[in-house]
Chains A and B, each alone.
Chain A
Amino acid sequence: MLHLLKLEWLKLKDYFMFRAIMLLYFILLPTTVLIFRIPGDPPEELAIPSFYIFPHIWESLGYAGNWLTFFLFGFLAILMVSNEFSFKTFRQNIMTGVSRRDFITSKILMFLVLSAVAAIYYFVIALAFGYYNTDYVKDISYAFENAEMVFRFFLMVFAYMSFAFMIVILVRRSGFALLIYTIYTIIIELILRYFVHYKLFGMNKAFWYYPLNSIEDLVYPSFFNAGNVAKDIELALLSPTEAIVLTLVYTTIFLLVPYTVIQKRDL
């Protein structure tokens, strides 16, 4: 397993886009959350400084990270695979002596590691923001009240990367894959939910069970829910447990599809 991870690391460590994306994440995660400071942007009833204190910081930083990792880590997953197609290094790796299963496994292992790095960084930054902004913590367990979000954050990043992985294995081209990945998430799934599902079945529970909605709801500020749930039922969120179970199911599918496709395909 370490052998496969090292193989992936040798390919990645000098790759410009890998370095750029990681750097961007490290810079943007702490800065994006600061946009909440722009006066008038968030609803008035939400006290602005509360975004940065324990335990709310876990949610607000998590929400910023949700968007950020969708783009940065999803795109990175696509590039990590599309490169292997366009450089023809996938077929060369196989000829040199990597099995198809090992090739897939090495990618998945790297996705796990990168997701863990993203989650650990999220943990560190949340802790730093919270520590800096919270004047008084009555006991330490209060500061860590939402800290289980670190695990959900990790799962979210891994799920985004797995979804991107499935798409790029199916279409092979980076541009096409980036387009489908983005368009599906921000347009197609919403059309499916609001126009197709809603028209056909109304607003039953399954309305929230779509794959990207499930992943998104892993890390979502509960104050969004609290503020809107009375007005717009369709903006309601899945419970963390629902989101975790659904994401695990979808991620399994996202990984099984490429595995099967790669076994059968001529390279």
Chain B
Amino acid sequence: MKVLETNRLSKSYGKIKAVTGLDLTVEPGQVYGILGPNGSGKTTTLGMIMGIIHQDDGGFSWFEEGSGSRLRKRIGTLLETPNFYPYLSAVKNLKIVAHIKKDRTSDIGELLQLVNLYDRKDSAFKTYSLGMKQRLAIAAALIGDPDVLIFDEPTNGLDPEGIKEVRELLLKIAQRGKTIIMASHILDEVEKVCTHVAIIKKGKLLATGSVGAIINAKPTVEIAAKDLKSLEAAVTAHAEVDSVTVDNGKIILTLSENYSTGDLNKWAYDNGYLLTHLVERQKSLEEEFLEITRSENN
């Protein structure tokens, strides 16, 4: 069963195309990151699949059953800001959510303990700090034990401690086997939390796949030696080396499939080069992201 499938989903605001022909597929158990710069159509996409924005074209289907309020009851959502009745306490706000979801089994006290708000459960929502509001929204999303959770920029506006808390909470939720769909413009966050990622820009899907596949699996290797010129000429001629660039007194290269960094070190020693510097680096999602979005511009 697919959790979510969108089919050529499109939305424009006047002349601005917010989302164009978006095809996404989310499978059960994935932590699916929708990654893109601000204004790339992430929130519009989530708004459409959550029934608050009407799409101009295309469609989507939840749990292969279509759309509608009945299916939305099986999804916990935190979109943009935490939205609650400011004059009501945490408990009373969560009771409203439980009432809407027709859920009588969720233990509100336990959920408030999970998000570390139990001590303030009877204070009015308006007295909460931003971090507390965000955590309450996560508790609200968990009511009714939904199969799917949607988070839009869950760490936005939080201080470092709040960010850490929310991320740990997300990982804790993901470990329970929930499907999570998360929009973010922070690569580091997606890299740390998600299993799958879709990269969108200006409402278009640029790349999608597992985080491992999107992050180029091939590491880059940095080397240096006393005689840099001679080393450069040697590695350029080396059959197992794919690309060579010189940067700031270091040679940066990638190796062919079955040739390891250790093999390179041995080769250098055998050929009389004593390496003064040897580092293997995994290309970060950040670099990959910049590369993907840049190539789209060209």
Give residues in A with beta carbon < 8 Å to B: 3, 6-7, 10-11, 14-16, 83, 87-89, 91-99, 102, 264, 266-267
Contact = CB atoms under 8 A, between A and B. Distances in A.
B84 interface: yes
A88 B83 contact: yes
B52 A91 contact: yes
B72 interface: yes
20 contacts: A3-B102, A10-B96, A11-B85, A11-B96, A14-B88, A15-B87, A16-B87, A89-B84, A89-B85, A91-B79, A92-B79, A94-B72, A95-B51, A96-B72, A96-B73, A97-B69, A102-B69, A264-B54, A266-B53, A267-B52
Contact of A87 (B50, B84, B99, B100): B84
A195 B77 CA distance: 53
Contact of B101 (A14, A88, A89, A96): A96
B109 interface: no
B70 interface: yes
Contact of A88 (B69, B75, B81): B81
B101 A97 contact: yes
Given A11-B96, A88-B83, A97-B70, 4 more contacts: A87-B84, A93-B100, A95-B52, A96-B77
A97 B73 contact: yes
A14 B87 contact: yes
Report, as a range, how many residues of chain B touch the other chain: 20 to 34
A96 B100 contact: yes
Contacts of B79: 91-92, 95
A10 B99 contact: yes
A126 to B, nearest CB: 34
B28 interface: no
Nearest to A12: B85
Q: Which 9 A-B pairs have the closest CB atoms?
A: A97-B73, A92-B83, A99-B69, A88-B83, A267-B52, A95-B77, A97-B72, A95-B50, A266-B53
B92 A10 contact: yes
Contact of A91 (B83, B84, B87, B95): B83
B66 interface: no
B97 interface: yes
A119 B47 CA distance: 42
B69 A14 contact: no
A96 B95 CA distance: 12
Contacts of A99: 68-69
B16 to A, nearest CB: 14
B100 A89 contact: no
A102 to B, nearest CB: 7
A16 B88 CA distance: 10
A7 B81 contact: no
B72 A95 contact: yes
B212 interface: no
A102 B70 CA distance: 12
A87 B52 contact: no
A11 B100 CA distance: 12
A6 B98 CA distance: 12
Given A15-B87, A266-B53, A97 B47 contact: no
A89 B83 contact: yes
Given A7-B100, A89-B85, A94-B51, A14 B92 contact: yes
A97 B100 contact: yes
B292 to A, nearest CB: 30
B88 A94 contact: no
A96 B51 contact: no
B177 interface: no
Nearest to B74: A97
B69 A266 contact: no
Interface in B87-111: 87-88, 92, 95-97, 99-102
A87 B69 contact: no
A266 B52 contact: yes
A141 B75 CA distance: 59
